[in-house]
Amino acid sequence: MAETTQLACRCGRTKLAVEGAPIASVECCCSSCREAGQRLHRLEGAPDVLTDYGATPFVMYRKDRVRFIAGAEGLQAFRLKPDASTQRVIAGCCNTPVYLEFKGGHWLSLYGALWPEGTLPPPQMRTMASDLPDGMTLPDYIPNAKTQNFGFFARLLGAWAAMGFRSPKMPKTEEINV
Ligand SMILES: [Zn+2]
Ligand SMILES: [Zn+2]
């Protein structure tokens, strides 16, 4: 049986479980993730999801391997722009960022900050490194792809094929502005 990992928001009222291994563990260096991280951090009690060098760690899971156990009704969605196809969802109880979702996507990018210290699946690559501000240097113990590289898309596609090319629905969320 696949191993289940229990995750929770900071205050513990929103609980979820992820099943088995992730599609990938990554650090996104794109400007949108950085801006979102900074804006969401302004919310009361919100944790800082960015690394020292401004990247956002994400653990990507198939949607059918993510299950909300408690607090799904309190999730709130935030978009950088009203027409953005990407939404970032936070736990309304304590403003903990929970996941990023692309419209119609078959996976969720769960915020690495949800994993208790020392348990985060080690990142395998960084993406969008070309978006980092000038002069910012990245640790080089994992590949630093300038954009989204081929290996990244191959993993996503492989996971979608295994799902029979379906995209499960996620809980309904209220929209917020930050
Ligand atoms: Zn909470
Ligand atoms: Zn990003």
Ligand with smallest separation from the Cα of 71: 1
Ligand with smallest separation from the Cα of 33: 2
pLDDT band at 1 (very low <50, low <70, confident <90, very high): low
pLDDT of res. 123: 94
CA of 157 to the centre of ligand 1 (A): 32
DSSP 127-168: E-GGGSPTT-----SS-B-SSS-HHHHHHHHHHHHHTTS--P
CA of 129 to the centre of ligand 2 (A): 10
Write out the two tokens for 33: 């993730």
With contact defined as beta carbons under 8 Å apart, do 61 and 36 qualify?
A: no
pLDDT tens-digit readout, 11-25:
999 999 999 999 999
pLDDT of res. 20: 96
pLDDT tens-digit readout, 113-161:
999 999 999 999 999 999 988 888 888 888 888 877 778 888 999 999 9
CA of 137 to the centre of ligand 1 (A): 33
Using alpha carbons, list the distances in angstroms from residue 121 to 49, 108, 125, 132, 178. Answer: 15, 15, 12, 23, 29
If one counts every other C-beta atom within 10 angstroms of the C-beta of residue 116, the result is 11
CA of 46 to the centre of ligand 1 (A): 9
How many domains does one find in the chain?
1
pLDDT tens-digit readout, 29-81:
999 999 999 999 999 999 999 999 999 999 999 999 999 999 999 999 999 99
Report pTM.
0.93
- Measure the CA–CA gap between 124 and 37, rounded to whole angstroms: 21
Residue closest to 76 by CA, chosen among 45, 55, 97: 97
CA of 58 to the centre of ligand 2 (A): 9
Q: Read off the CATH number of the domain in which 46 is found.
A: 3.90.1590.10
CA of 113 to the centre of ligand 1 (A): 13
CA of 152 to the centre of ligand 2 (A): 13
The residue with tokens 């198939």 is 62
- Name which residue leads in pLDDT, 104 or 33: 33
Q: Is the pLDDT of residue 164 over 80?
A: yes
The residue range of the domain holding 48 is 4-175
Q: Which residues of 40-63 are buried (b: 16+ CB within 10 A; e: fewer)?
A: beebeebbebbbeebbbbbbbbbb
